[in-house]
Amino acid sequence: MSCIFCDIVAGSEKAEILVDDEKVLAFLDIRPFNYGHSLVIPKNHYENFSEVTEEDLFPMIKSVQEISKAIKSSLNADGFNVLSNNGAAAGQTIYHCHFHIIPRFTSDGFKFKMNLKEYSEDEMKEVAVKIKKYL
């Protein structure tokens, strides 16, 4: 199965590279929400965030932090979002783990549509118990 991000790592697809080290590749997104919108990926292929090994996870997260700071400073952004979509229900369309770093500007008009839910006290406890069983 073909993976566009693996092709970028291999050099058979072009990208505007920001970071290229032993474990991580970062490049500008070709369809940005705002200019400077970047993607950070592990060079090894993992379908989603849950699969990434510690050996690859820590360098990737460190790069996300460093690149976020550089994007904010260099573009005079007011803030930034760091996102990782995991699974189709979460909006993942390329099945190679990646983080989006999106520079944000007060006037950019980009809004997350929030449909927030509320827990009853019992519901919150039930959900916490379910999650804790897997930790």
What is the extent of the structural domain holding 63?
Answer: 4-132
The per-residue pLDDT for range 82-134, each reduced to its tens digit, is 999 999 999 999 999 999 999 999 999 888 777 888 999 899 999 999 999 99
Q: Report the C-alpha gap between 115 and 103 in whole angstroms.
A: 23
Structural domains of the chain, count: 1
Q: What is the pTM (predicted TM-score) of this model?
A: 0.91
pLDDT at 114: 75
* Catalytic-labelled residue, pool 37, 96, 98, 100: 98
pLDDT at 113: 73
The first and second tokens of residue 61, run together, are 């997260």
The per-residue pLDDT for range 34-93, each reduced to its tens digit, is 999 999 999 999 999 999 999 999 999 999 999 999 999 999 999 999 999 999 999 999
Q: Report the C-alpha gap between 58 and 70 in whole angstroms.
A: 19
For residue 66, report the phi and psi dihedrals to the nearest 5 degrees: -65, -45
Domain of 88, CATH number, reads 3.30.428.10
The first and second tokens of residue 104, run together, are 């944000």
Quick check: is 98 catalytic? yes
